[in-house]
Structure 1
Amino acid sequence: MSLSEAREMVRLLGVRYDEIAIAAGYGGPSPACSRDSSPACRRIRQRRTCRRGIRGMILMALSNKTGSLVLTTGNKSEMAVGYCTLYGDMAGGFAVIKDIVKTLVYRISRWRNTCSHVIPERIISRPPSAELRPDQTDQDNLPPYAVLDAIVEAYMEKDLSPRQIIAEGFAAADVRRVVHLLKISEYKRRQAPVGIRVTQRGFGKDWRYPITNRYRDPY
């Protein structure tokens, strides 16, 4: 579906499009996993290699060859909770939507289609997925984006404490999980490309949080 919808969107936009197979660049087990033949280790290696080792290198090589800037695709929701891969989908020179939460991405996409139809409906309506295994969706690991985005906005933009967010009616487990992920993902965000700031507080200069901090809010 991703390939067919990408081709359709390219046709609607009238832009250049290339497909580059990565199978040839996928090698054998890494040294780290060669000592551990567990199914879990093999699955992790297979999923990460495609996103990190191969795709990122190809994109940066094309950037060097053509002089074009690689744009990363991560949004604010993903950057907040670390739902991104260093040197994989984070590899690039400019992060266009890094300060736009996922629910706003959907709203902007639907609005853009009212101007002229350039985004195939299935790109918007399909369940979001990292496509690392069959039938995977983002909500296998994260709260629904409407919930996640509201918690990120309350905690990161409005400076509400976890207790205050829970008092507003959000499930305590969701709040604790999102805040925990937000804190432990700071090291990734420090290595992310620069991007456009559109909210009152974006990750980067507006957000001051240490990478090494053992403080845990008692909630």
Structure 2
Amino acid sequence: MDKIRFKQAQSLLLESGKSKKGTEKLKNPREGTLDPVAYAEIINQVIGTEEFVYSSRPTHKLLPEDAKEFCSNLIDIRNKIDDILAEFGVLEKKNIEEEVKRLSEKFIILTSKGNFKKIITRWGVEAQRIVVAGVPLETEDMRVLNPKIPETALEPVKKKISHVKNDIIRKMDQFDTQEMLVVVENDKSGEIMAKRAENLYGARVMIRDNLKNTSILEFRKALEKEYNP
């Protein structure tokens, strides 16, 4: 049974490289080096998602938490497949990075995750355009996140909030833009920051369950004019 599922997963992955749908333009494969470890991880993850097929019988409807986990797994699988396809020249990641760089030139990027800053700078976003906020944008939002926080602990938070806001204003002046893209995770602090940024700056919002699983293609879409979250 395991061998059958393994073969099915292999077939699905091979067919994915032949698809002509979507915005990506797929090219003919060139010579490259296959990473057997990465490929094995993909196969195992594909097989692992099969559990959702069985557990959701007979309707195959997934409840919100299961849907999040299922889709998160698929996104991670897709990102790994994209890396393999890029190695063989099927996807032109360099061109995508150039497009991300161009599209990001009208934005200030606000995120709550320092690691995500590293990711998007590799994708072509200028580091000076990125603001990492380790605190909410308003003091009252900190009280929502932590109702028991003492007043004495709020003083340093206020200073950090002031620093973040000044940094945002400075970067908007520096790059002559009022456009902001907020990229946060789908949790309470992320939702609060996104909503506050919408109110304060008219920001565009991108929310994901796990930012480390966000692909460059998803990020590019968020930068595009017609983006709908």
Same fold (TM over 0.5): no
Structure with the higher strand share, 1 or 2: 2
Structure with the higher helix share, 1 or 2: 2
